[in-house]
Structure 1
Amino acid sequence: MGGTHKKKLRAEKAKVKLKGAKLPKGLNVTKTEFKVRKITIREQLKEAQFVDGIKQVNLKECLSKLKHHSSNFRSEALKNLRDAIALGHSGIMGSLNELIQGISAVCLDQDRDARREACKTFGALLAFLPKDAVAPFFHIISSYLRCAMTHIQPNIQEDSLLLLDVLLQHIPTLVASHSAKILHNFLEMISRVRAEGDKAGRMLTVNMGQKQTTIKWRSKVLLRLQQMLETLAEYKLQQRQEGILSGSNTSDGLITHSTKTAQYYGIKRRFAANQYCDLSHIFNRSVGSSATSNDDAAVDEFEQLRSYVDHLMPLLLESWLEVRPQQTTSCSVETLLTLDASLTLKIVLEIIENLWSLIEIYEEQVNNNDLSLWFKDQYADVFAANFLQSSYPYQQFNVDEDNTNSKKKPKKSPTSLSPYCLQQNITIGFLMCRFYANALGQESSRFNAVLNYLSSILDSSMSNKGSQDYLPSLVKAIRALLLQSGQHLCHLHKESTTKLLRSCIKAFLENRFGEISSKILIILCEIVQSHELCNVYGAAEFSEFLKFLPNLLLRPTVNLACLVAMSKLGKQQNQVFLDALRNILPKVVEHLQNIQVTGAPNVLEGKKHIMNLFYWTHPQDRVNASELTKIIDTAESSITDKRISGYCKYILTLA
């Protein structure tokens, strides 16, 4: 050992020592002229996903971690799966079954954070995948969703609503097609079966010992139920429209009359041409005998809709009775609704409206109104007695004043609510028209209250405050009251109905309807076209509207339905309308090049509807010859399409 050390010391002493000397110039500088070559692996060149700076995710490892006993591992695996989905991992489509199965299982996890992460991952996955790729595996998602909705733990039940929100947002058509399996679980979340003698029904349940009140929990469930029914109604309406379009031949949709050739008109329906028509079902008017129809699908849908109404309506009425203000005759403070009561009323009314939409779509399909007659007979009086009571119209407590001194900001409600309860009050009026479509006289006083309320809404600035969610309901209510039931209401309440029409026309002319102005315009045009309604309301009520109507031809766009109404007014020789059109005829001809007709099959046919209006003004008799010549010259110079300019000249010079 010691000898080795001495040998090393002697070797060090034997080395040449540079004392006092420096290295020559050039030897003390590091040389940087050496060449390097990048090391590459050929397998990396084949796969472009392995790029520096991008997180690599192993799908198999993530799927295995979803079954780990630690909730942190499961949450981390879900986050990694979201990263893989965002990067478009190539193995997602190949592992789709395992992905959906694994993520769905975590939705029933005991840990709250893991369940929330699973819902987020589902949202990312459904946004990435096309609908056709999810359809074969939707039964897996549906099974886990139903298990979560009826789970014994309330927290898992509550988070199942989040999963349903994700499904309704990304794949609403698949949810609607499987709605029959899911809707029953909503009832289990807020009620239980009650058997009393021979009658079996449901009663609302109370959640004891929970952080949130029973009313708030019930509102959450009913809100998702309303969204589900709304999605189902849109899905069925879309199916019906697609069936009509697929069965119709669009090439021969436009029939042009010609005296030179023989005219042939088809007598067969152009929608569902290959579907046999069940005459026994059409001419069968009784409710019970619908089961004898050969169309099993129609019978199943009939029984399904009837079961929806039978189970939902008692629960909806009971939910409203728990929160509505008590009937008192002394003070008006009790008519004010709390926030929970206002939200419950809104959701309950929307569910009833969705039930009516489903019934209407079904009856149009089978050409039979048995179901609506049964619905009116069972629940019309109950609805009027419970919703259109003495406290109508409803208002909500001003919660902003109560929260001014509070340091904490109030949480946002699931739906924005107006303190005036505009949407709720308007929807009640619309549903009253649905329940009493052919028997308005039974609730004459209540309809008078609805008419006066809508008139006050249109006349005041109350409707301009807060949310604008009530506008679609306002369109439906105005159509139902003034157009569909206007003739009957005029016989019952002439003054109130005419006042509502006058307020509606005034609000439209002052452009106070906002985004629904076009829909209100179509309703007014349909009213003007009806000779019976014009006589009932009085021609003087429409004078201002008729003077304004030709000014629509000076706008950039005009709806085909408005042009049809103008054409009918021209055929009726309505002098107020024709005089207003005659005054702006030169401007209309000059603007003919730029205007667009929405809803027309093509540009030529759309502008023909405008030019045909010129015929009813009798320009040869009512317009000076020199002025008519200027109008024709303007048409020839401003209109580039020779077909349109030639047709315009032909109409203007037609005797």
Structure 2
Amino acid sequence: MLKMSSKRKRQEDFQRVRMKVGRKKPKAVHETNTNFKSKFIHLSKLSNELQHPTNKRKQNITDLLSQMHHYNAGVKQSALVGLKELLSAYPSLIDTHISSILSEVAAVFTDKDSAVRVAAISLLQFMVPIVPTDKIAPFFPLVSAHLSSAMTHIIVGIQEDSLHVLDILLEEYPDLLIERSNMLLHNFLELISHQKTSKECKNANKQPNWTLAVSVNQKITSQNWRLNVLTRLKKFLHALANHMAKKNPDGEEFVEVSSTRPFFAMKWRKHAKGKQTVNMIDEQSKFQHSTSSYLLRTTGGTPDNTDAVFSSTNLKVFIQTIIPLLIECWIEEYPGTILTDASESVLPSTSHNFLQQVLTIISLLWKLYDLRDEHQKLDGWLRQNYLADFRYYFMSQFPYSLQETMQQKKKTKKSDKDGIHYYSGLDHLLINLTLCDIMIPMASPSTLQEDSEWVAMIRMFISEKLNNGASLNCKQLKRLLDVTGKLLNIQKNRVSTEKLIHALYVMYQQRDLQLFARCMLLKFLKKVYFKEDSCTKLGRNRSNILSRWISSLPLQLVHLGSRSPQLSAIMIDTIYIAATRSHKELLQSLQAAACQIYDPKGGALIQLPSASQLKLVQLLYFLPFLSSELLICLNKCCMSEILSADLGCLLIGILNARSSFATWSWSPEDCVMRSEDYFSFLFSTLIGFSAEKLASMQNSKSACVSKTQVSRICLYLTDQLQFAHHWTTAKAASCSLSAVSARSQCFDILQNAIIKHLGGLIIMPDSTAGSVLYAIDILFDQSCIPSDYLYSFLASSVYSIFNFMLTTEKDADQFSKRDPLWGTCISLLSRLPNVLKLMLQSLKVSRTCQEELPVIVQLLRLLLQSSHLRNHMMTHAFLVQQTLQDVMNLKSCDIQEQWLTDLQYCFNVYLSKQSQESVPAVY
């Protein structure tokens, strides 16, 4: 047994299975079955589940906001970068997640990692232009709290980045930051200083309890850090001052009064013919007003706490703290201020920039004082506390100049970027002007003798710069004029003020002066003139230089023309206000240049915009005398379409008010124009065309002439704009004629002028014919006696107008003329029945006027249908019947025309009974 088992072979691994012939091969254990079929699946609609927007890394806003709480700084930085990428692709997410985004971004203002803070600042800079103020206002207290925490953080890097956040918010949301002014101003102080300890305060002997802090950061020096902080403080105070100026729009330093005050234009039509409303005044009416305005609280839900920071107490506390620190910073930056060597006034660029920030901050604080009610008391407090220090540390080296040094170009280190990028654009003139702006408010007329030394230095400096002011830019000139105005306010000595005004006048007369400079000088001189005008009340004479300047403005306006409408508008405004104050020299100069200013071929009235044209028209009320030459110019301007119809009516109304025919009484000495010149002006305006133009129309063969065989007058068809302009001014002229108390004499003058100048015309403009009919209709009353020639002229004119309207009733270009002309003709015929009689007599139908038969028949039908003329038509029924019979005899065919059928019907309805009785009624 043992021997047989040992000889048995062991079973080999992976032994091959031998298959017998005819048997199927067994299936393998891991065999793949490939016998399957595929079918298409059709989806009728997609799933309703919304897919949230994601960035390139497939992260939605919820994922990114959740990563902001991660302990790893790299994850937080990546989340901020991804959040910016997502919001740039889908800006609509900002509105729906603004609360979460702002809370997470503001929280990392104080993150220890600089890369996280940089990413947060980049995201904030991207968001703020998109988010409006009203959307971010509810969440701004949280953002400002994090900003305040970052500004007062112990880590210097966080403080540096907080200034960049402040720049972004101050650029986009200054008003929201101003509401937290108390907190931010305190933060600015803590950035450059710290409060003294109790021992230091005891040894300071009532000195301020704040002292400058020394930076231990090796990347930026203490002075560069203070420069960065002071630059942001300057921007914040500037925004603060602008906000306060908006709440007090009467401040001259910030708001131009003449540009914001709406101009009042008198509407003459509302105050004519009793159209104005008259109310009875009772005992309580002075306490009642028809309109009332209410100040509603803001919709942002945040209270306005800006009044607290503008209070005198808070301003005093802040100034008492910041000004000693500013002086200490300046002494540390430039120790040469304590020396007396005049050569030390040449400043290097770094010191120059530092002084610019210091002085600008002080100037802004002074401007905030100007907006307070206690201005005089605060000026005395400023003088008492800071005049001596400013004279010693700032005025001892006045004026300052900039040291020009050649520097090689070199790469700027990233760490030094904030410390040097403010050096560009340095201007020593602005520094000196800012220092003058600070010093002048601390002087007053009562202290000029005591302050004569440094005031004389400032006056000499200002006069020198004004004499050489042609090269100044806009910003420099504005500051120079502001300082000059303040200096003129405290200078009550005529000799001193005349020197400054003379320097201004010399600069104004320079030929190479740019347009902006001349405009600014003109506005400033106008302001000085207004203040000088009150000198007569103080017993002083008006400045001779200002009088010479103001009297030269009309001639300057003539030479300037339309080359500079902006400058011309300022000149006209100055002339207008000086004329209202009865400036004798100006009125004489204006009288001499009046014909050139109102010249219809190239005067200022024609060339300038409508706003300036209005002022020039109103200036006519103050001219001492209106000559015949000037009235001729004004008439041509009224006929010109360049001057609007409303201004033409205003001009006519002003001349009527100044004429001797006005409602109030005039003495012979007060007469400013001759009566014959006034009537010539009104008649010429009524005609609307010059004699040369009317003469040239008589030989016209244009298709614009409406001809007729019945009347001797043919009408020249004007365009719509010309007709509307002429019709409006003619109505104003007619109203002025009707205002003459001697109605019959005025009517005789008008009818004689019509017969003389229009009686021999064959072709007349349609607007002229209608205007004459309108004037006759207004002027006629029982005392007026028209001549037979006038009756004939009026009858021909009326028929010509009727013929024109009936032949062109389907012409759209002439449709606007229909209503005014038709109404005028019907009114005249009802007022003067003899004109209707003559017109009906002229309708003698013959074969020569057979083409006008439809027009004549249609005219008779319309006259019969008119309710105003029905009685007069019944009176002249025989003439109508005779005309109808003549038409029946001359009709060209046996077919009854519709127009003839309509006339027969109207005749049978209105006049048949009267004609059968053959007894005409007398009316």
TM-score by length of 2: 0.55
The letter for the 2-side match of 1:582 is: A
Letter of the structure 2 residue corresponding to residue 137 of structure 1: F
Shift of 1:337: 0.9
Q: What letter matches 2:243 in structure 1?
A: Y
Kindly state the Cα deviation for residue 580 of structure 1 after the two structures are TM-superposed: 6.6
Q: What residue number does 1:206 align with? A: 214
- The alpha-carbon distance between structure 1 residues 457 and 184, as it changes in their structure 2 partners (threshold 3 A), is same
Q: 1:316 to 1:542 in 2, by over 3 A?
A: farther
Confirm whether residue 374 of structure 1 aligns to residue 396 of structure 2: no
> Which stretches in structure 2 are left out of the alignment for 5+ residues?
1-13, 25-38, 256-260, 296-304, 659-671, 673-923
Q: Does 1:224 align with 2:235?
A: no
What is residue 426 of structure 1 aligned with on the other side? Answer: 433
Cα distance in structure 1, aligned partners of 2:42 and 2:464: 81
Distance 2:639 2:141 in 1: 64
Counterpart-to-counterpart distance in 2, 1:186 and 1:151: 12
Q: What do residues 592-651 of structure 1 show as CA deviations (whole Å, max 9, x unaligned)?
A: 466347xxxxx5xx6433212234344524xxx356414421332133521201223454
Larger relative CO (CA 8 A, sep 6+): 1 or 2?
A: 1
Which position in structure 1 is the counterpart of 2:129?
127
SS at match of 2:146: helix
Q: Is residue 344 from structure 1 mapped to residue 354 from structure 2 by the alignment?
A: yes
Mapping of 1:47-66 within 5 angstroms? 57-66=59-68
Contact 1:590-1:634 at 8 Å conserved across structures: no
What SS does structure 1 have at the residue aligned with 2:492?
helix
Amino acid at match of 1:384: R
The letter for the 1-side match of 2:353 is L
How far apart are the structure 2 equivalents of 1:256 and 1:47?
Answer: 64
User: Is residue 569 from structure 1 mapped to residue 572 from structure 2 by the alignment?
Assistant: no
Structure 1 counterpart of 2:371, from 353, 356, 361: 361
Partners of 1:567 and 1:613 within 8 A in 2 = yes
Residue 46 of structure 2 corresponds to which residue in structure 1? 42
| Aligned pair partner of 2:548 in 540, 543, 567 | 543
Distance 2:128 2:290 in 1: 37
Matched ranges for 1:543-622 at <5 A? 543=548, 546-548=551-553, 550-551=556-557, 554=562, 555-557=564-566, 563-570=572-579, 571-575=582-586, 577-578=589-590, 581-582=593-594, 584-587=596-599, 590-592=603-605, 595-596=608-609, 607-618=613-624, 620-621=626-627
Q: CA deviation at 1:218?
A: 0.7
- Residues 336, 394 of structure 1: 8 Å contact kept: yes
Query: What do the CA deviations read for 1:519-576 (whole angstroms, capped 9, x no partner)?
Result: 4321111223323669768424653564246526744346877544312333212247
2:460 corresponds to: 452
Q: Matched residues in 2 for 1:300 and 1:494: separation?
A: 34
Q: Deviations over 1:464-510 (max 9, x none)?
A: 4xx8643442232132234x33x42545x367424532344235x64
Per the alignment, residue 390 of structure 2 pairs with 383
Partner SS state of residue 441, structure 1: coil
Residue in 1 aligned with 2:522?
A: 521
Quote the residue 1:184 is aligned against: 186
SS at match of 1:511: coil
Does structure 2 conserve the Cα–Cα contact (< 8 Å) formed by 1:612 and 1:651?
yes
Change (3 A) 1:557 1:181: same
Identical columns (%)? 22
Structure 1 residue 126: Cα displacement: 1.9
Structure 2 match to 1:137: 139
Judging changes above 3 Å, is the alpha-carbon distance between structure 1 residues 587 and 627 closer, same or farther for their aligned structure 2 residues? closer
CA-to-partner distance for each residue in 1:144-181, whole Å, 9 max, x for gaps? 11111111111111111001001101111100111111
TM superposition shift of 1:44: 8.0
- Equivalent residue, structure 1, for 2:864: none
Go from structure 1 to structure 2 and tell me whether the alpha carbon gap of 1:225 and 1:424 turns closer, same or farther (over 3 Å shift): same
Moved more, 438-447 or 493-502: 493-502
Residue pair 1:145, 1:163 contacting (<8 A) in 2 also = yes
Q: For structure 1, which segment, 172-181 or 303-312, has the greater mean C-alpha deviation from structure 2 after superposition?
A: 303-312
Normalised TM-score (structure 1): 0.76
Counterpart code for 1:526:
K
SS in 2 for 1:83: helix
Give the 3 Å change call, closer, same or farther, for CA 470–564 of structure 1 in structure 2. Answer: closer
**C-alpha separation between the residues in 2 aligned to 1:37 and 1:210?**
71
Corresponding residue of 1:397: 403
Within 5 Å, give how 1:55-454 maps onto structure 2.
Answer: 57-194=59-196, 195=201, 196-197=204-205, 199-241=207-249, 301-324=311-334, 325-328=336-339, 332-363=342-373, 369-389=376-396, 391-399=397-405, 401=406, 403-404=407-408, 406-408=409-411, 413-415=420-422, 421-438=428-445, 439-454=447-462
Q: Is the 8 A contact 1:151 1:157 kept in 2?
A: yes
Residues in 1 aligned to 2:504 and 2:310: alpha-carbon distance in whole angstroms:
42
Deviation for aligned residue 1:187 = 0.5
Q: Is the 8 A contact 2:148 2:184 kept in 1?
A: yes
Which residue matches 1:21?
none
CA distance in 2: counterparts of 1:253 and 1:230, whole angstroms: 33
SS at the partner of 1:203? strand
With 606-615 and 344-353 compared, the bigger mean Cα shift is at 606-615
Aligned to 2:492: 488
- Contact 1:448–1:496 (CA under 8 A) maintained in structure 2: no
Matched position secondary structure for 1:620: coil
1:368 shift after superposition: 6.4
**Superimposed CA distance per residue, residues 333-359 of structure 1 (whole angstroms, 9 cap, x where no aligned partner):** 421112222112111121112112222
Tell me whether 186-195 or 352-361 shows the greater mean CA deviation: 352-361
Alignment deviations for residues 5-64 of structure 1 (CA, whole Å, 9 cap, x no partner): 999xx99xxxxxxxxxxxxxxxxxxxxxxx9999897248977968xx978651111112
Larger Rg: 2
Query: What is the alpha-carbon distance in structure 2 between the residues aligned to residue 226 and residue 54 of structure 1?
Result: 42
Q: How far has the Cα of 1:431 moved from its partner?
A: 2.1
Letter in 1 for 2:576: S
- Aligned partners of 1:381 and 1:271: how far apart in 2? 53
My pick for the range that moved more, 212-221 or 79-88, is 79-88
Change (3 A) 1:426 1:199: closer
Q: Return the letter of the residue paired with 2:524.
A: I
Taking the aligned partners of 1:271 and 1:222, their CA distance within structure 2 comes to 47
**Residue aligning to 2:669:** none
- The offset of 1:254, in angstroms, is 7.2
**AA of the residue aligned to 1:488:** K
Aligned partner of 2:648 among 632, 642, 645? 645
3-state SS of the aligned residue for 1:128? coil
Preserved CA contact (<8 Å) 1:592 1:639: no
Secondary structure of the residue aligned to 1:192 is strand
- 2:502–2:545: 8 Å Cα contact kept in structure 1? no
The CA distance in 1 between the partners of 2:503 and 2:244, in whole Å, is: 34
Matched, 1:477 2:483: yes
Q: Matches of residues 627-646 of structure 1 in structure 2 within 5 Å?
A: 628-646=631-649
Distance 1:609 1:38, change over 3 A: farther
CA distance in 1, matches of 2:18, 2:569: 109
